[in-house]
Structure 1
Amino acid sequence: MYGLLLQSASEIIRARYGQETWEKIRIALHLDSNKFSAFQQYGETLFVRIAKILSEIINEPVSDIMDLFGVEFVSFISSYGYDRVLRILGHNMRDFLNGLDNLHEYMRYTYPRMRPPSFYVEKETVNGLTLHYRSHRRGFIHYVAGQITEVGRRFYNTEVEIKAISESEEFDIVHVIFQLEFENTAYSKQITSDKDSNELDLTIDCHIFFDLFPFHMVISESLEIISAGDSLTQLFPNIVGELVRDIFNLVRPLITLNWSQIVLHSNNVFEFSTIEPLRKQPDDSELTINQTGDQFPSDMIITTTPPRDVQEEYLRLRGQMLYVYEWKAIIYLATPVLENLDVMFNTGLFINDLSMHDSSRDLVLAGTQQGAELKLALDQERQKSKALEESMKKLDTEMKKTDLLLYQMIPKKIADRLRSGEKPVNLCETFESCTILFSDVVGFTSICALLTPMEVVSILNEMYTKFDKCLETHNCYKVETIGDAYMLVSGLPERARNHAAEIIDMAFDMLDSIITVTNPTNNEKLKIRIGCHSGPVVAGIAGIKMPRYCLFGDTVTTANRMEQMSKTLHIHITDTTYQLLDRKIYEVQECSKLMLNGNTSLSTYLVLHKKDRAGNIQLRPFHKVLQEITREEAEIAKFKQNADAKSAETTNHVSSTSKTNGVSRPSPPNKTKPVESSKSQLISDITAHSTPNSLSKIKIQHESTMKSMEHSETPDFNKSIQRQSHSKTCTIL
């Protein structure tokens, strides 16, 4: 099967059902390219397989699809110029059907390896006729019916109703009988003209008639050759008296070679080929003996030329069968099929053996002269076709890359609608329920202050790459990233019932991923906080330049607020999201209510763990890091409490020594010693009890506490000195 039929099917599918449907069919059939070469041959069953897969996708019968392919094929071949061939087959629909079997004969030079079907007409009436269809291919009955219907409507302005009344198989040939109903006015006109022609009697001598057709055969009812032309007699001296089937094979039409079938197919072109080859090229290897000068005979070199392929030439005849009533015989008026002079020479024929009244001689000579040019043109076309196929493959590759990039920026569903020509404003859609996630890196501003811009980009790229890989296993859509903020949504653009659970599972994976990213400023693990909220949103494309799929609504604002109020390595959710979760699977901890807009309180929760089917808590990698952070915070709080207690004791001691009447006046140098000893004692305690990881943090916090104590003590000392001086002055006075 040539690619012309397959290319028509692919373009019809893309035009009617979209590129996405054709991609599904191409993947199912393992086709590498989107295009078919019109002059290249493909598998015989590929066309029917395409129709069957399309039938499964669109849930329509295969018969309707094949009928559609047949109707649209008539329009498709117009781009190749074959509509003109269809127009010149006859003046009306009757002429077209009677010459339908010869249609493929006109195209044999363009498609030399074509296996055409066979058609012939019988039982004509003024209301229609019966059409016989034979083919080696199976499954093309409705395809042929669609083509015939469309040709009648498009070229002959005739409405044709066609139905298959019989279907059978003869060896490997499918035989279908169609009943066609249409206004067959040409048939009634022919009957009238035949009556008028019977009144004219012009006789001619048979010998004159035979001289006009040197390749004719007169065949009796038993298919015996009772007369043959001079040229045939030269090739086959004993041809007269032989049976046709003993010398020739019937190439077309696809019928049984007998008297009744030949009479029925008088409107068809009959092509015969000889059973035995006329001449055979020698296949013996030629031996060439090369002698060099006066060397010895033993030095003679024997070289063998490569054996040539055996070329067997068969005589092919093509012509028409006519029944002669007066002879009670059939006369076969034929001419030999000779592509060029080489074929003629190999069959033993010469130019003067061909008849003069037709164009046989001109065709042979013209074919020889133009053969080289046609071969060169064909080679160039093949090269162009090959280059075009390579270009199409590269184009398909680039289109796939473009599609992949587009689908990463915009959901596939929305991108396909944009391609179809919809305006962005028409793509806005309201989703009644979805879950939105925001995440943020803890202390990201301080980290950026200590790093170069390239280092910041490197950290963000590593973090977002890990998050994006987590998306592959969850039904979530990445909306956007702004700095260190990461925004996800589940439940759109494809609606889902379990969108809250999808977001929480994604959040757990994000927490596991973030602890694998290192902060280069202190070689500690990066930490994020996550906030989630569920509710209605409006989603759509915003803008023309750099279009993005954006979400709008209070749900987005609330989810962002939940992230801001979240804790390190925690998932902070609202009560709305909590109600959508399965409480048997997720373990949560209730938090204090969150005030929104100053007057609305919202219950919030922290999602702590997820349980397996047996009800056991699943410990994830980030839980270990979270436990270390909790332990460090407890130690810091404990030592801070001890520091506050010692600071209070020191303050009480100073105030008791500087009380009433100014009698007790310790000197300032003695005053600072207890404070210094208290500070050194506190630091030694911290050093002894702190863990290595938390030591630096604890020292910094308690040094700041000691400084605040010193600043708070200095004013009290000055006040004590002033009171003492004032008491002494009073005493002197």
Structure 2
Amino acid sequence: MYGMLLESVQHFVQLEYGEDVWQKLLIESECKYTVFSTHQTYPDNIMSTLATALANITSTSLDDSMMFFGRCFVRFFSNYGYDVIIKATGRYFADFLSNIDNLHSQFRVSYPKMKSPSMYITDIDEDGCVLVYRSTRQGFTQYMRGQLYQIASEFFNLKLETSVIETTNKITSDGRDLTIVTFRLNFDNSQYMCNKKAEQATQIKCDFPPFSCCLLLELFPFAVLLDPALTIIGVGEKLVEVAGDKEKLLGQPLSKYFKLRSPKGILMTWKNMYYLKSVNFELEVLRTELIKSTLEDLEQDSQDTCDNLSVREIEIDGKSISPYSLRRDSQPGLRNILLKGQMKYLSDINGIIFLCSPVINDISELPDQGLYLNDLNPHGLSKEMVLTGWQSNSKLHLMFDKAEQRATELEKNYTLLDMWKRRGDELLYSMIPKPVADSLRTGNSPLSTCKSFDIVTVMFCELVGFNSTTVEDAMELVSTMNAVFSCFDSLMDAFNVYKVETVGQIYMAVCGAPNKNENHARNIIDAALEMVKHIRQLKIPSGTKVDVRIGAHSGPVVAGVVGIKVPRYCFFGDTVNTASRMQSSSEPAMVHISEPTKCLLPKERYIIINRGTVKIKGKGNMQTFWAFDNIYNGEENSDT
């Protein structure tokens, strides 16, 4: 879908619910886009995920959220002037419903990748109508209902009520799922019906004598007349020249020599053509099939007369062309012709006539299609439009090329923007916790991030086992620290522990802040024990043997963002100092903990050994402990 639909959602969610709700919406829906571009396409599932998130946040139903989004789109597209098109569609709401597909067809000029639904009216009365909605998008039925509600009230001053009569699902010819929903729309339709009755009364008074269908096919030289079985029972005189033989088309099914190009997503059936009589149809004349039919006739003639087919030629447009050159689609004068027009029902003969004319974009296309200016409808503006288009064709081509180039560049730039935004987010979240960073993005002051926590567990870890005295030693130290700290970073994510910073050979981490966690002490000790295990198994690039000594302490802290150029989320308080002292008084490959941390740990999960009274700098004598996991072997560490 195009970004304008998602722009409308963002605009009105922010307007009616506030910026905070929109940010929660993006987080809960896991939407990676924060800004939407009008002409850029996005996955269809973004709309449904946003609706689901809004329903959860506002405690409403998913249907209500989708209908709200549909109303938002109608209110939003007035900013682009599309409300004028809706108002100019027809005098009555029923006129608008009958011409929705035509509006979508016109919008494809500006939005060529648009996948619009198809709608048509089957029954109509003074109390409303029956509308059939067909779409290959799943889950957008309520979205469409929201649009209809808003259009009825805003543009036609009507109170609309809808109910679902029937819902079916089918598979299209190209394998896509097609949803077909039949609605009953209740609204005041009395004025429309009165107008229709007046028109019918006027037609009855005008009692014209009947005239031949041949005259109609002469007036519309490319018209096609069909019976209820969609069998061709009449063709225009110019279409006969294209086919080369009238008898070849008469009595044949329409699908044999014609392909439906528009409206998209529907089948070429009598019912669709009858109910979509107000919609422009596009049928492509399959010249290749006509050629095959001609070749088959020639082959049959050659078998009857025992002539060699290679010497037989076909005369097209006054030129003799061999059957083999006919098989080439690039042969001048043999390209498929696109016919565009309206399906009209003729009650006198119970048939449908396709009143159409060829679609010619440029005068240079006429020879390729085997057409000439005098072939076009004499009573229309086809000739003038072709000639006018030819005069300004070069300028239009230049403009379209530039527009296409800009669109391509814009799409690439948006892709790069998303990529760099993700990289920026990753960098930001490595410096500041995600909840805190998202709060700062909304415009909150850095002081608002300052918060006290009643109890957390702080851990310090120091690399030991080497000293750097030369440049080579320093490079080796950096390589070793990078390998070790990268390993530790992965462990922090696994145990829901927040890495605060690294200062030299010291690694600091906290659990319980900024996201509160009741198992903060347990998570820290689990991570610390895994760090001890991994440091022994880790392959250091330089081959240096290193070890760690770890200390942890639990207690209250204060945390907040500090700094402008390189902001950091820092922790303050006596708990941080005590945890640092636990680390400095620890021993290699040991996890040294204080008594408050020990009291928070489950006894069955760990083996806690009393280290005794230890003199801690700045704290005096403290009772401290060694922490091991439950597979600790006392003999292996008997020297401690």
Q: 2:388 aligns with which of 366, 377, 380?
A: 366
Question: Alpha carbons of 1:479 and 1:140: their partners in 2 closer, same or farther (altered >3 Å)?
Answer: closer
Supply the AA of the counterpart residue of 2:568: R
- Tell whether 2:624 aligns with 1:605: yes
C-alpha contact 1:131 1:179 (8 A) present in aligned 2: yes
**Is the partner of 1:591 in helix, strand or coil?**
strand
C-alpha distance in 1, partners of 2:121/2:218?
32
Question: Alpha carbons of 1:503 and 1:75: their partners in 2 closer, same or farther (altered >3 Å)?
Answer: same
Supply the AA of the counterpart residue of 2:487: K
* Aligned 1:460-499 pairs, distance under 5 A: 462-463=480-481, 466-467=484-485, 469-474=487-492, 475=495, 476-482=497-503, 486-499=507-520
Alignment match, 2:280 = 269
C-alpha contact 1:406 1:415 (8 A) present in aligned 2: yes
C-alpha contact 1:48 1:139 (8 A) present in aligned 2: no
Range that drifts further, 408-417 or 230-239: 230-239
**Is the partner of 1:97 in helix, strand or coil?**
helix
C-alpha distance in 2, partners of 1:568/1:135?
67
Range that drifts further, 169-178 or 50-59: 50-59
Alignment match, 1:433 = 455
Supply the AA of the counterpart residue of 1:575: E
* Aligned 1:331-730 pairs, distance under 5 A: 332-438=354-460, 459=477, 462-463=480-481, 466-467=484-485, 469-474=487-492, 475=495, 476-482=497-503, 486-507=507-528, 530-563=550-583, 571-584=591-604, 585-592=606-613, 603-607=622-626, 610-613=628-631, 616-617=633-634
C-alpha contact 1:460 1:484 (8 A) present in aligned 2: no
Question: Alpha carbons of 1:189 and 1:579: their partners in 2 closer, same or farther (altered >3 Å)?
Answer: same
CA positional deviation for 1:96: 1.0
Question: Alpha carbons of 1:76 and 1:442: their partners in 2 closer, same or farther (altered >3 Å)?
Answer: same
* Aligned 1:1-40 pairs, distance under 5 A: 4-5=1-2, 8=5, 12=9, 16=22, 18-20=25-27
Supply the AA of the counterpart residue of 1:604: Q
C-alpha contact 1:279 1:313 (8 A) present in aligned 2: no
CA positional deviation for 1:58: 7.6
- Tell whether 2:188 aligns with 1:180: no
C-alpha distance in 2, partners of 1:323/1:531?
88
Alignment match, 2:167 = 167
**Is the partner of 1:551 in helix, strand or coil?**
strand
C-alpha distance in 2, partners of 1:76/1:370?
34
Q: Deviations over 1:610-641 (max 9, x none)?
A: 2444x63495xxx79xx6xx9xxxxxxxxxxx
Q: TM-score, normalised by structure 2?
A: 0.71
Q: Deviations over 1:678-729 (max 9, x none)?
A: xxxxxxxxxxxxxxxxxxxxxxxxxxxxxxxxxxxxxxxxxxxxxxxxxxxx
**Is the partner of 1:103 in helix, strand or coil?**
helix
Q: Deviations over 1:214-261 (max 9, x none)?
A: 444666778777766543454466369934735764725646644x76
Q: Deviations over 1:568-605 (max 9, x none)?
A: 7765432211212344522322422769989xx87421
Greater Rg, structure 1 or structure 2?
A: 1
Alignment match, 2:145 = 145
CA positional deviation for 1:97: 0.5
Q: Which runs of no fewer than 5 residues in structure 2 stay unpaired?
A: 14-21, 173-177, 296-326
**Is the partner of 1:355 in helix, strand or coil?**
coil
**Is the partner of 1:106 in helix, strand or coil?**
helix
- Tell whether 2:253 aligns with 1:231: no
Q: Deviations over 1:178-209 (max 9, x none)?
A: 11123335414414643663586375885887
Supply the AA of the counterpart residue of 1:363: M
C-alpha contact 2:8 2:72 (8 A) present in aligned 1: no
CA RMSD, 1 decimal: 5.1
Alignment match, 1:718 = none
Question: Alpha carbons of 1:5 and 1:480: their partners in 2 closer, same or farther (altered >3 Å)?
Answer: closer
CA positional deviation for 1:561: 4.6
C-alpha distance in 2, partners of 1:66/1:268?
27
C-alpha contact 2:40 2:411 (8 A) present in aligned 1: no
C-alpha distance in 2, partners of 1:374/1:198?
44
C-alpha distance in 2, partners of 1:271/1:513?
69
**Is the partner of 1:341 in helix, strand or coil?**
coil
C-alpha contact 1:152 1:158 (8 A) present in aligned 2: yes
Q: Deviations over 1:390-421 (max 9, x none)?
A: 33333333223322221221112221222233
Aligned residues: 576
Supply the AA of the counterpart residue of 1:589: N
C-alpha distance in 1, partners of 2:549/2:275?
88
CA positional deviation for 1:380: 3.2
C-alpha contact 1:570 1:606 (8 A) present in aligned 2: no
C-alpha distance in 1, partners of 2:171/2:591?
74
Supply the AA of the counterpart residue of 2:250: E
Question: Alpha carbons of 1:203 and 1:549: their partners in 2 closer, same or farther (altered >3 Å)?
Answer: same
CA positional deviation for 1:177: 1.3
C-alpha distance in 2, partners of 1:466/1:610?
21
Question: Alpha carbons of 1:610 and 1:153: their partners in 2 closer, same or farther (altered >3 Å)?
Answer: same
C-alpha contact 1:574 1:602 (8 A) present in aligned 2: no
Identity %: 31
C-alpha contact 1:25 1:54 (8 A) present in aligned 2: no
Question: Alpha carbons of 1:194 and 1:572: their partners in 2 closer, same or farther (altered >3 Å)?
Answer: same
Question: Alpha carbons of 1:212 and 1:597: their partners in 2 closer, same or farther (altered >3 Å)?
Answer: same
Question: Alpha carbons of 1:513 and 1:314: their partners in 2 closer, same or farther (altered >3 Å)?
Answer: closer
CA positional deviation for 1:330: 5.5
Range that drifts further, 169-178 or 360-369: 169-178
Question: Alpha carbons of 1:439 and 1:387: their partners in 2 closer, same or farther (altered >3 Å)?
Answer: same
C-alpha distance in 1, partners of 2:413/2:552?
49
C-alpha contact 2:461 2:549 (8 A) present in aligned 1: yes
CA positional deviation for 1:121: 1.5
Question: Alpha carbons of 1:191 and 1:532: their partners in 2 closer, same or farther (altered >3 Å)?
Answer: same
C-alpha contact 2:3 2:40 (8 A) present in aligned 1: no
CA positional deviation for 1:130: 1.0
**Is the partner of 1:616 in helix, strand or coil?**
coil
**Is the partner of 2:613 in helix, strand or coil?**
coil
Range that drifts further, 138-147 or 427-436: 138-147
CA positional deviation for 1:104: 3.0
Supply the AA of the counterpart residue of 2:570: C
Supply the AA of the counterpart residue of 2:446: P
Alignment match, 2:202 = 197
- Tell whether 2:48 aligns with 1:47: no
C-alpha distance in 2, partners of 1:602/1:77?
73
C-alpha distance in 2, partners of 1:567/1:226?
99
Supply the AA of the counterpart residue of 2:633: N
Supply the AA of the counterpart residue of 1:540: G
Range that drifts further, 550-559 or 223-232: 223-232
Q: Which runs of no fewer than 5 residues in structure 1 stay unpaired?
A: 27-32, 284-306, 518-522, 631-733
CA positional deviation for 1:52: 6.9
Alignment match, 2:323 = none
Q: TM-score, normalised by structure 1?
A: 0.63
